Amino acid sequence: MAKITRDMTIAQILNMDMATAQIFMESGMHCVGCPSSSGESLEQACAVHGLEIDPLMKKLNDHFTTEEIDMKKYECTVCGYVYDPAEGDPDNGVAAGTAWEAVPAEWVCPLCGAEKDMFEAV
């Protein structure tokens, strides 16, 4: 299950599931296309918009609790690296809790550089 934290960026949360855009919009945060969304934490964004962070975090975490998200691991068929959604790939911009489907299309294997289509579910 995904866990939204205060220090995650809006972009990281959107990458986990684009359906969270609706939650942001309903809260008055129109961050979907904002350049700050990739550099501002959820806590910072709430402060900028004058919002309480706890109710927003609850809505986001409730969303991930009720959504059926594929949290299978995927293995690189080139080098054997295993992408684990629970860990993500934070060194390459993929937050912990990011399901495989939400990993950006341009992401590549951190060990060998293979593209996403070279991975298989394990």
Count Cβ atoms below 10 Å from residue 9 Cβ, excluding itself: 20
pLDDT range class, residue 52, cuts 50, 70, 90: very high
- Backbone dihedral angles phi then psi of residue 16, each to the nearest 5 degrees: -70, -40
Contact call for residues 71 and 99 (beta carbons, < 8 A):
yes
Please name the residues in contact with 3: beta carbons below 8 A apart, sequence gap of 6 or more: 61, 64, 96, 97
The pair of structure tokens assigned to 76 is 């690189």
What number is the average pLDDT over the span 69-76?
84
Top-confidence residue, 90 or 32 = 90
Confidence check: pLDDT of 68 > 70: no
The pair of structure tokens assigned to 121 is 């579910």
Q: What percent of the chain has pLDDT over 70?
A: 93
Top-confidence residue, 111 or 17 = 111
